[in-house]
Structure 1
Amino acid sequence: MVEFKLPAWYTTPMAQVILVGITCFATVGMFSAVSNLGAGGLSDIVLSDTSNGVLYGCFAITGLVSGGICNLLGPRLTLFIGTLGYALYVGSLWCYQTQGTGWFVIFAGAILGISAALLWSAQGAIMMSYPLEKDKGKAFAIFWAIFQFGSFIGSIIALAINIREGGLSAVSTSTYIAFLIIIFIGVASSFLVLPPNRVIRSDGTIVKLEAVSKPHEEVVGMIRLLKDWRMLALVPMFFASNYFYAYQGAVNAKRFDGPTRALNATLEGAGAIVGALMIGYFVLDIKFLHRRARGYLGLATVVILVVIVWSVGLSWQVTFTRADATEANFINYHDSDYKGKGALYFFYYFSDACYQALAYWIMSAMTNDPFTLARYAGLYKALQSAGSAGSFGMDAVSTPFLNEHLASWILMLASFPLAYLVLRTVKETNYEDERVVYVDDVHRAHAEEGHHVEKTDSIEKGSVSEIPAPPLTANA
């Protein structure tokens, strides 16, 4: 069967990573922009903490099976379903702002938790499995920069609106309208993503001959995943990777006025973009080091950043408590007291991007199989969300800021020795251990069966028989 001929550039891994980045730019990025305004843009911080706790609780539960669901449905449909929850959630915030419907915010948070798990499993599988091994750091950098650019642009929109309308304790209605328009563009963009059997790497290999897996394969795959000591060793890293968002968001909401919260969110987006590009291009994919050495360098970079940035944050945190965080004491970006605070929020997210990059890079160094990596991504987001649920619950009961700071920091520090043990097992390449299929072999198989297939035509699932992996070439 011959399908519509796709442009060669469109079937490349990086084109697909960029497309997923655009989808997340317009959906998750807008959600992040609202969340980073402090208390999710809400005037009711307890409601924000409750909805976020429900969101991440549902996210954690769904994440355990979202990788398998992605493998059964395929990345395109999984991404589409995943984007819908973001539109509903931002719409619920707008509804609360105008109608006071708090229950709707909590309900939308639960739905978003389910859909977000699906979106991030598909995203993780594409970003980690589609590129060549030598490009996986750059793939993260490109995706994360595009995705965080959504948060950056969204925050600029909010900053412009809030500054024009004066200091606000909550986000304005027009801000929500702007976010929703962009989110619906992201929903539509999810249909542009290709399945792994239609993506061809620069060395001529197909990411995966099959487009989707089978239910029994997913059950076996999950059992193997939970028995892998390396994944168990990464549990603390996964759990800690979003734990600090509740603390940073609460401090942003309690210590700064509306326009300054928007400014901090803009600086956070900029820090995440710069951090991702720096570690992706200049550390994790640096050319003259072996792959394991690149992993060690990445770990050392993240350790140094986390120690320095969170030490600076601690030096500020010890100067105030929750009792001091009142509206009368709000900090404005014009105030002398704001000096250095914006830089701290920039580097909070600079170091966050590096931490996330390292976690994704370690997983992608363990295998190249998209189905396995979808399961990895699902477990990663499940544990990450469990940590987020716990941290938002911790903040909802008014835990002292200092305790939240120390909990977030200690969790990250504790994850590093175990991450080092996993990095010690990283091989120079996984191509020698995994089945590799070249597009030329698929064409040859078609020709032997009496079919004529153009090189740019898509490879249909089940259209060829199982092909043994050919010898690796030098650039494989």
Structure 2
Amino acid sequence: MKLPAWYQTPTCQVVLVGITCFATPGMFSAVSNLGAGGTQDVALSDTANGVLYGMFALTGLVSGGICNLLGPRFTLFLGTLGYALYVGSLWCFQTQGTRWFFILAGAILGVTAALLWSAQGEIMMSYPLEKDKGKMFGIFWAIFQLGTFIGSVIALAINIRSGKLQAVSTSTYLAFLVIIFCGVASSWLVLPPNKVIRGDGTLVKLQAASSIRIELRGMLGLFKNWRMLALLPMFFASNYFYAYQGALNTAKFDGPTRSLNGTLEAAGAIIGALLIGYFVLDGSWLGRRNRGYLGLAVVTSLTIIVWAIALSWQVTFTRADAKADKLISYHDSNYKGKGALFFFFYFTDSCYQALAYWIMSAMTNDPFTLARYAGFYKAVQSAGSAGSFGMDAVAPPFLNEILGSWILTLVSFPMAFLVIRKIKETNYEDEKMVYVADLTAGELEAGGLETAKAGGNDTGSNEKGSLEGRE
């Protein structure tokens, strides 16, 4: 059956992945932003998250290869299942007190989430044209964070009626689960790279899938790639601060206000992603490398300003003070400015994430390579998250956590600069481009099979392809 042309476009596919992530990790983020996942047991939540991100880190090292073998559609589907189980375990804990199931669900989610984010990274970074990669991140991240936004609004609307709610209600978890199962279903709409046609008439990839030999070689090559090693600090720091921000939200605010903060965080993430994607990373007035420099300058400036403001508030109280003080409500006068801080926490976070993805996507256009990059990125990112949640579980001083988070991000910027310096203005001249107009229907259908018979093509190689007559 011939697919509609609009359905085969990179934009449509990125939107579909955004919808899937809107409904799955978006709901996970929403419930996490309620404070300790709505459990009000910070130590238990930190333990579950530590296990989750530990398994995420381990699985992420191989998830890119798994995605290339199974294809993004099936990999994305498998990745969504863990989110339903995790939210169900939260509900079960809230009603039955089953702590072990909550921790087990966290471990399972760590495995499935690595699969989901490798498939997502492959699609978002490799399907668009080079000039659109920042925009595609903005579109994806906005849709994904819209899940967090709507989830937080649902929680706020349900929970705000009591005004003093200390735990998330059953109806909130049911609303989350309904949306998550919609996301599970939507994952089947995603197309493989050999079915997606870019605006210039090129296929994203002729092969539908890779081979085990190529994937093993490609995954080992990640540890020999100096650019990926230079980006390790950026990857490690990119989610490290979530534990601190979640603990702060739980310690200082009541239930409805935590939901409001989650709504503001999502709004900040949506606006930040769109602004940096459209007007900085894909600005047409600058060359690609200079756009990378500008993006780095923007993210560095935001990080310094926002975290300095957060530090100025943090030095006014300790963990012990937070336990003794009355929880802040959005009705209170001392809430003034706190909502804006949480907004800019995630505004800055989305810009940081955009820069990391944009740098990786500027290194190559090959979907199989970028799937491995995405898995590696999420593995290192999750290792940082596991460490931060593990640290928060033993209740260190808040001041130590905020300083650690801030310093890690600042250290990552000089290393990212080294990688941006080596970005080429285009990779089209170094990588083979396959034009649909040059292929017969039989070649298009048999492309993956013929490539496999020929021994495959290492997706990290620089196979030459001419663009003469195509521009």
Give the TM-score band, short-chain normalised: over 0.9
Change in CA separation of 1:475 and 1:423 when aligned onto 2, cut-off 3 Å: farther
| Alignment partner of 1:252 is 2:249 | yes
Change in CA separation of 1:17 and 1:317 when aligned onto 2, cut-off 3 Å: same
Q: Say which of 394, 397, 403 aligns to 1:397.
A: 394
Aligned to 2:358: 361
| Alignment partner of 1:276 is 2:273 | yes
- What amino acid sits opposite 1:472 in the alignment? L
Change in CA separation of 1:9 and 1:337 when aligned onto 2, cut-off 3 Å: same
- What amino acid sits opposite 2:23 in the alignment? A
For residues 449 and 176 of structure 2, the distance between their equivalents in structure 1, rounded to whole angstroms, comes to 43
Q: Say which of 400, 410, 413 aligns to 1:413.
A: 410
| Alignment partner of 1:30 is 2:33 | no
For residues 145 and 408 of structure 2, the distance between their equivalents in structure 1, rounded to whole angstroms, comes to 24
Change in CA separation of 1:309 and 1:380 when aligned onto 2, cut-off 3 Å: same
- What amino acid sits opposite 1:422 in the alignment? V
| Alignment partner of 1:216 is 2:213 | yes
For residues 85 and 389 of structure 1, the distance between their equivalents in structure 2, rounded to whole angstroms, comes to 17
For residues 63 and 26 of structure 1, the distance between their equivalents in structure 2, rounded to whole angstroms, comes to 21
| Alignment partner of 1:175 is 2:172 | yes
For residues 293 and 28 of structure 1, the distance between their equivalents in structure 2, rounded to whole angstroms, comes to 33
Aligned to 2:460: none
1:202 Cα deviation after fit: 0.6
- 8 Å CA contact 1:437, 1:469 repeated in 2: no
Aligned to 1:204: 201
Aligned to 2:467: 472
| Alignment partner of 1:145 is 2:150 | no
Q: Say which of 68, 89, 107 aligns to 2:104.
A: 107
Aligned to 1:40: 37
1:22 Cα deviation after fit: 0.2
TM-score, structure 1 as length reference? 0.95
Aligned to 1:379: 376
1:45 Cα deviation after fit: 1.0
1:390 Cα deviation after fit: 0.4
For residues 330 and 446 of structure 2, the distance between their equivalents in structure 1, rounded to whole angstroms, comes to 56
Aligned to 2:184: 187
1:459 Cα deviation after fit: 3.9
Structure 1 segments unaligned to the other structure (5+ residues):
none
For residues 279 and 470 of structure 2, the distance between their equivalents in structure 1, rounded to whole angstroms, comes to 21
- What amino acid sits opposite 2:72 in the alignment? P
Q: Say which of 342, 345, 349 aligns to 1:345.
A: 342
Q: How does 1:161-172 map to 2 (within 5 A)?
A: 161-172=158-169
- What amino acid sits opposite 2:63 in the alignment? S
Aligned to 2:73: 76
Change in CA separation of 1:474 and 1:25 when aligned onto 2, cut-off 3 Å: farther
Aligned to 1:303: 300
Residues paired across the two proteins, number? 462
Following TM superposition, where does structure 1 have runs of at least 4 consecutive aligned residues deviating by more than 2 angstroms? 458-471, 473-476
- 8 Å CA contact 1:198, 1:459 repeated in 2: no
Aligned to 1:64: 61
| Alignment partner of 1:285 is 2:313 | no
1:100 Cα deviation after fit: 0.4
Aligned to 2:128: 131
1:442 Cα deviation after fit: 1.2
Q: How does 1:223-262 map to 2 (within 5 A)?
A: 223-262=220-259
- What amino acid sits opposite 2:175 in the alignment? A
Change in CA separation of 1:345 and 1:288 when aligned onto 2, cut-off 3 Å: same
Aligned to 2:2: 5
> What is the root-mean-square deviation of aligned Cα atoms in Å?
1.5
1:226 Cα deviation after fit: 1.1
For residues 43 and 257 of structure 2, the distance between their equivalents in structure 1, rounded to whole angstroms, comes to 21
**CA shift digits 1:100-123 (9 cap, x unpaired):** 001100000000000000000000
Aligned to 1:85: 82
Change in CA separation of 1:165 and 1:475 when aligned onto 2, cut-off 3 Å: farther
1:328 Cα deviation after fit: 4.6
SS in 2 for 1:325: helix
TM-score, structure 2 as length reference? 0.96
For residues 54 and 284 of structure 1, the distance between their equivalents in structure 2, rounded to whole angstroms, comes to 35
For residues 460 and 15 of structure 1, the distance between their equivalents in structure 2, rounded to whole angstroms, comes to 24
- What amino acid sits opposite 2:466 in the alignment? P
Structure 2 segments unaligned to the other structure (5+ residues):
458-462
**CA shift digits 1:20-57 (9 cap, x unpaired):** 00000000000000001111111211110000000000
- 8 Å CA contact 2:241, 2:405 repeated in 1: yes
Q: Say which of 116, 122, 127 aligns to 2:119.
A: 122
1:326 Cα deviation after fit: 2.1
1:463 Cα deviation after fit: 6.4
For residues 53 and 353 of structure 1, the distance between their equivalents in structure 2, rounded to whole angstroms, comes to 22
1:166 Cα deviation after fit: 3.1
1:471 Cα deviation after fit: 2.8
Identity of aligned residues (%): 74
1:475 Cα deviation after fit: 6.5
1:367 Cα deviation after fit: 0.4
- 8 Å CA contact 1:18, 1:146 repeated in 2: yes
